[in-house]
Structure 1
């Protein structure tokens, strides 16, 4: 009976070794990686994760990113530049508390740029300026405003453009000069 057990162990040993050898393969999921096509960067103690830009190709763009503060002091995002244009941070400087996380995007804190030269399918430089952390620039992928990103752009038009009104906008000087004709017969 001992011989049978030895033969079984000797036959099973190569199979077990092959199975254990596969454990040392490092799959991408065993390390931190971006779940999307965004860019990751560090600005001192501030981590910039999945930075990307959504654009309509006609000058309007929105920054999508996640910012994390791993430092010992609070910080704030003071300014964002998309290409050569300073973007609008919707509620002013964005606070980044210690161990805090801030999301930028259409359903979070908005960072929108107008008159931006950002062509979908290409990259554009996005510069982040913080109160304490060092200034950091990344080359972010520009995504088209379609599919999952169809609602990412701001609803309001770029500053300096006029919205169409619902009704006529005649002033007293714009009234017709003709006399109305009567359709009644005498």
Structure 2
């Protein structure tokens, strides 16, 4: 009986030791993984970090990103397009200092798009144009304006202004006048 126990121990002990040794192995990954949810890319000396779009799914969207400049001269973000729509840079071009960063988003320089087709859960193309750096396009994830992004969209979305002709026709309709085909002076 002692021989059988010894054989069992000889077979089981190495397996247990190897199993226990494997519990403490922490394999290092071969590349760096950013702790964000957005897209990272480069445009010459300008680094675009954590690019995301926040949207209500009804046409209003805000771009969130960090821009870094590792070049030897200042640059500026002069235009952003979300899908086919040119976004509104609320404070004009965004300056990106040498060896510095510039944040765009709800609590920084606002970049808002209106009448944008950006449905949460999908991606949308975002094109960045700079003063000196080459323009670049990313496919950014569209996040819903809820949770940590609940306050990301502008408080009052800008809507396209009505033309004066539409305002006059609206006033005439309220007075009960019928529109005529005759030209007005």
TM-score, reference length from structure 1: 0.71
Structure 2 equivalent of residue 27 of structure 1: 29
Structure 2 equivalent of residue 40 of structure 1: 40
Q: CA RMSD in A?
A: 2.4
Alpha-carbon shift at residue 161 of structure 1 (Å) = 6.3
Structure 2 equivalent of residue 66 of structure 1: 66
1:121 aligns with 2:150: no
SS of 2:77's partner is strand
TM-score, reference length from structure 2: 0.72
* Matched length: 145
> How far, CA to CA, are the matches of 2:33 and 2:86 in structure 1?
29
Gaps of 5+ in 2: 1-16, 163-173, 175-185
Taking the TM superposition and a 5 Å limit, the aligned residue runs for 1:82-101 are 82-101=82-101
CA offsets per residue over residues 121-171 of structure 1, 9 Å max, x none? 000000000000000000000000011100000012222369xxxxxxxxx
Does structure 2 conserve the Cα–Cα contact (< 8 Å) formed by 1:34 and 1:49?
A: no
> How far, CA to CA, are the matches of 2:46 and 2:116 in structure 1?
25
> How far, CA to CA, are the matches of 2:87 and 2:32 in structure 1?
29
> How far, CA to CA, are the matches of 1:87 and 1:124 in structure 2?
13
> How far, CA to CA, are the matches of 1:123 and 1:139 in structure 2?
6
Gaps of 5+ in 1: 1-13, 163-173, 175-186
CA offsets per residue over residues 75-129 of structure 1, 9 Å max, x none? 0000000000000111100111100101111111110000000000000000000
Alpha-carbon shift at residue 22 of structure 1 (Å) = 4.5
Structure 2 equivalent of residue 170 of structure 1: none
Structure 2 equivalent of residue 108 of structure 1: 108
